[in-house]
Amino acid sequence: MTNFANHTQATAYWTTARGHGELRSEELSAPGPDEALVRTLYSGISKGTEMVVHRGSVPPRVAEEMRAPHQEGNFPGPVKFGYLSVGVVEDGPEAWLGQRVFCLNPHQDRYVVPISSLTRIPADVPSRRAVLTGTVETAVNALWEAGPRLGDRVAVVGAGLVGGMVATLLRTFPLGRLQLIDVDADREQLADALGVDFTHPDDALADCDIVFHCSASQEGLERSLQLVGDEGDVIEMSWYADREVTLPLGEDFHARRLSIRASQVGVVARARRHRRTNADRLDLAVQLLADPVFEAFLTGSSPFADLPDVVRDLASGARNALCHVIEYPQDPEVPSSPQR
């Protein structure tokens, strides 16, 4: 067990106002009987959602629903937000000491959370790759929501982090057809790495049984409605935050009796809600990360000290990334578990 008195200080990233963030120091309380002290190895920036928070664009009407599990403060700020953290348990119940864990925690170098908030990382999943657990969980939930069937024709519109994750999981299904669709021709490199067919929206094949929309654009959702077959489902995974979207509902949507269903990871999809918990879903997600194909989503890294600049660069477009990894300094006084 670590001498907690030596590690009462922690540093965390806070969004302090619209378009501004900084690292702040804080005091940690000693972990209680059912809690653990975690030393962070890596965290990941969930670009879509975290840029919404950075810009102060969370609509007040859904501010409570969109809180992260261990968020502190309130939107638009100051707020400590984030949910892709990987670390090592330094203090807590003996069975957890030295365990590598994933936690839906903000960007912070050390933190104390309930043991129930931790997901053990399997030995065959590298720590750096494990930051993707929360995003894989989002994709798993969407597949549970949609329920793809044998021989289905499926399209994924938007080849970003979430869309790419959905396509990655679907590539192992016995589908009749799978296309990953994006206006950015450079995304074909990602599709090639995943082993998935890529196409421009203008060339995409229609009459799909299911279309997953992940582009967070009005144009992408319009095209999704055109690509899905009669009485088919569009699974909407985009969060538009405070942006308004206008759709031609008098065209395909009405005439062909289409459905648009939101998929949001806050709760387990209805089709599995009575037989799976959030913890079950996270356990599945981290196990899936044993597949090296997920390395394609880790597109950059920076030290923790640079996090405020990295967030600003991502928000302005000066830096592009699928998942940008934040690396935390290691304490030479504390033995490290294998980070792989």
Mind listing the pLDDT tens digit for each residue in 98-145? 999 999 999 999 999 999 999 999 999 999 999 999 999 999 999 999
User: Taking 70 as the threshold, does the pLDDT of residue 4 lie above it?
Assistant: no
4, 31 in Cβ contact below 8 A?
yes
What's this model's pTM, rounded to 2 decimal places? 0.93
DSSP assignment letter at 108: B
The H helix count followed by the E strand count for the chain is 8, 17
Query: Within 179-299, where are the H helices?
Result: 187-194, 218-227, 252-255, 278-288
Region 301-323: what's the mean pLDDT?
96
- From the list 303, 325, 287, 331, the residue with the least C-alpha distance to 90 is 331
Region 61-87: what's the mean pLDDT?
96
Question: Looking at residue 338, what is its pLDDT?
Answer: 45
d(CA 294, CA 55): 28
User: Taking 50 as the threshold, does the pLDDT of residue 333 lie above it?
Assistant: no
CATH-assigned architecture of domain 139-267: 3-Layer(aba) Sandwich (3.40)
Q: How confident is the model at residue 5 (pLDDT cuts 50, 70, 90)?
A: low
d(CA 270, CA 93): 34
The domain limits of the chain are 4-125+290-327, 139-267
With a pLDDT cut of 70, the percent of the chain lying above it is 95
β-pairing, 153-157 vs 177-181, is: parallel
Domains 4-125+290-327 and 139-267 share a fold: no
CATH-assigned architecture of domain 4-125+290-327: Alpha-Beta Complex (3.90)
